[in-house]
Structure 1
Amino acid sequence: MNTSIGKRIRSYREERGFSQEELAEKLHISRSTYQRIENGETNSWINHIENICTSLNVELDDILKPEEGYTQINKENTSNENSSNNMIQNQTNNYNGSDKLTESLLDQITFLKEENQRLRNEIEQLKNI
């Protein structure tokens, strides 16, 4: 897992004055599960990202933004040193990968919101029977 996401979540939690236990309670998960999210030991934050953002009053983009220093670089940028070229290519790949991950997660969140609404509608219909 990308530990920078966990670090960002921790930073926002601390800025807002929540303990790990308090935020875990808001997310309806155990403190140990929440701690694993912050430490980057699990990808389960994906299942809780909407509630994390709501609880911490932050935008999804703030949590998922690429790490500092990862900016897209023109692939035609040339250099005489191979190591410099490799570094530029790695940074570009990481940036592109982060962009794809963000897009994928936004698609998943959209799907989950729609599914949530569908289930709520179904529950309302069942209540009316």
Structure 2
Amino acid sequence: MNVFVGNKLKKLRKSEDLSQEQVANSLRVSQSTYARIERGESSSWASHINTICEVFKISPEDLIKEEDKEENNNLNGTFIINQLSDKVIEQYEARIKELKKVIKDLKRKRDL
């Protein structure tokens, strides 16, 4: 797990164009400590997981899930997001319909 997370951290750091020292400073550890984390020689990443996730703008699940599963999850995630978006739109449309009825009833009562 340490090697897996270390490799993932290295990819994330490079994709953000950050140096080991910059990430180490964010984690408040030395550059050599962070280098050991990236090489998989240390499990101290676990005690810094929240800060790591903030630095790279990911969830803890994203940090520890496998790459090939990640690609499938991205496809599934897109599908789920689309489904959720459609559901939210339906709910808002139903709520708008309800509010229009309330407005109509209020106007009718006002005119009495």
- What TM-score, normalized to structure 1? 0.50
Structure 2 distance, partners of 1:16, 1:40, is 20
CA displacement 1:83-104 (0-9 Å, x = unmatched)? xxxxxxxxxxxxxxxxxxxxxx
Asked if 1:64 is matched to 2:39, the reply is no
Please tell me whether the aligned partners of residues 2 and 42 of structure 2 are also in contact (alpha carbons under 8 angstroms). no
The residue aligned with 1:35 is: 35
C-alpha displacement of 1:66: 3.0
Structure 2 distance, partners of 1:15, 1:33, is 20
Query: Where in structure 1 do 4 or more consecutive aligned residues deviate above 6 Å?
Result: none
Gaps of 5+ in 2: 70-112
Structure 2 distance, partners of 1:32, 1:48, is 15
Structure 2 distance, partners of 1:26, 1:13, is 12
The residue aligned with 1:3 is: 3
Correspondence list, 1:16-27, <5 A: 16-27=16-27
C-alpha displacement of 1:61: 1.2
The residue aligned with 2:47 is: 47
SS at match of 2:58: coil
C-alpha displacement of 1:29: 0.3
Structure 2 distance, partners of 1:50, 1:58, is 9
- What TM-score, normalized to structure 2? 0.57
Structure 2 distance, partners of 1:2, 1:26, is 20
User: Which amino acid in structure 2 is aligned with residue 10 of structure 1?
Assistant: K
Gaps of 5+ in 1: 70-129
User: Which amino acid in structure 2 is aligned with residue 41 of structure 1?
Assistant: E
Q: CA RMSD in A?
A: 1.5
C-alpha displacement of 1:33: 0.3
Normalized per residue, the structure richer in helix is 2
Aligned length: 69
Identity of aligned residues (%): 39
SS at match of 1:52: helix
Which fold has the larger relative contact order, with Cα–Cα distance below 8 Å and residues 6 or more apart in sequence? 2
